[in-house]
Amino acid sequence: MESATTILGEQLRQFVKVTCTAYNTKETPSEVAARARRQGKQKGNATGPSESSGPKKKELNLSTYKLHALGHYVETIRRFGTTESYSTQTVCFKIY
């Protein structure tokens, strides 16, 4: 599993470097609308010129916690077992 995780990380970085740069990706219409709504709410606080309302360039973001944590999964599984073998639910014990 360690080598598979390493290979996955390498493949994701290669994908961003080669494949993603070959495509011009932009925000979806719903993302543009959501950004326009956010900017409208902040308009009273804005001091600079408003940004264009057209779609902005989008790139795949590998700097997320989910991808950062991949390297820790193997050790966590070794230490605690697979996720179906325990619960993260908090428990409150009452002592009488």
* Residue whose token pair is 């290669």: 14
pLDDT in tens, 23-51: 999 999 999 999 999 988 887 655 444 55
Domain definitions of the chain by residue range: 2-85
> What pLDDT is recorded for position 14?
96
Does the predicted TM-score (pTM) go above 0.75?
no
* Residue whose token pair is 């993260």: 88
- Tokens representing 59 are 């790139």
Check if the beta carbon of residue 62 is closer than 8 Å to that of residue 9.
no
C-alpha span between 25 and 58 (Å, rounded): 5
Distances from the Cα of 10 to the Cα of 2, 5, 20, 21, angstroms = 12, 9, 14, 16
- Tokens representing 7 are 């290979």
